[in-house]
């Protein structure tokens, strides 16, 4: 199954709001080639509204991977994107929405100026105190808990990250990924 169809199915099943028609974009790709896609995707945004349940981060990963591939991201960078957005979603479920089944995790993906700007929003109050980076030696020796890997990986994999952006709709973690490899 091509990414075109994966993207289409994900969009139909899980994208509750799309600001563009993915069929038109991918149709253009087939007719005119990759350079045309770049123009068409600029300033366009995909929004996902996910159940606040661990496991649904995979939907965001799949959608983002398709989106990133369509604009020419290399596979290595796509894997970084997937891991970072997954960890942001997991953090939103567990710490932001505190595993509340009624809450949602909203993921916004915008590709603009050769970079992805990704926002992951939950209904929490933010991260009151950002944890220090996990120290594996201390964890192995049982001197500190095995926690903090999600935020650590986000910080390591993205070009810019901003935690604790509060909006009237909730708490946002905002990440920027440049296209470079």
Partner 1 sequence: MQQDNVIKLERHGPVTMLNIQGDITSFSEPFLNDAYKDANDQGAQKILLKFDKDAYINSGGIAVLIQILANTKRNNQQISITGLSDHFKKIFHMVGITKFAKIYDTVENALEVLSA
Residues that bind partner 1 (CB under 8 A): 53-58, 61, 76, 79-80, 83, 86-87, 90, 134, 136-137, 139-142, 146-147, 149-150, 152-153, 156
SS3 of the chain: helix, strand, coil, percent, to 5: 45, 25, 30
- Nearest approach in angstroms of CB 31 to partner 1 is 32
Cα–Cα nearest to 111, from 31, 2, 6, 38: 38
What is the token pair recorded at 76? 């290595």
Instruction: Answer yes or no: are the C-beta atoms of 145 and 139 closer than 8 Å.
Output: yes
- Nearest approach in angstroms of CB 68 to partner 1 is 14
Separation between Cα atoms, residue 152 and residue 74, nearest integer Å: 23
Residue 42 or 98 with smaller CB distance to partner 1: 98
Residue 126 or 134 with smaller CB distance to partner 1: 134
Q: At 53, is the secondary structure helix, strand, or coil? A: coil
- Nearest approach in angstroms of CB 163 to partner 1 is 15
Residue 40 or 127 with smaller CB distance to partner 1: 127
Residue 41 or 82 with smaller CB distance to partner 1: 82
Separation between Cα atoms, residue 122 and residue 114, nearest integer Å: 26
- Nearest approach in angstroms of CB 146 to partner 1 is 4
């Amino acid at each position: 199954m091509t990414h075109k169809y994966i993207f289409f199915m994900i969009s139909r099943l899980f994208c509750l709001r799309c600001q563009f028609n993915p069929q038109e974009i991918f149709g253009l790709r087939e007719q005119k080639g990759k350079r045309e896609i770049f123009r068409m995707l600029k300033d366009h945004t995909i929004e996902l509204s996910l159940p606040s349940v661990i496991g649904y981060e995979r939907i965001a990963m799949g959608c983002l991977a398709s989106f990133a591939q369509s604009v020419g991201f290399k596979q290595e960078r796509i894997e970084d994107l997937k891991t970072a957005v997954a960890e942001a979603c997991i953090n939103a479920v567990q710490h932001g929405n505190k595993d509340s089944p009624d809450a949602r995790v909203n993921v916004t993906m915008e590709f603009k100026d050769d970079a992805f700007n990704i926002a992951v929003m939950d209904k929490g109050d933010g991260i009151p105190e950002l944890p220090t980076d996990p120290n594996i030696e201390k964890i192995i020796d049982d001197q500190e808990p095995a926690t903090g890997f999600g935020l650590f990986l986000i910080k390591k994999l993205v070009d810019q990250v901003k935690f604790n952006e509060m909006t009237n709709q909730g708490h946002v973690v905002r990440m920027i990924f440049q296209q470079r490899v």
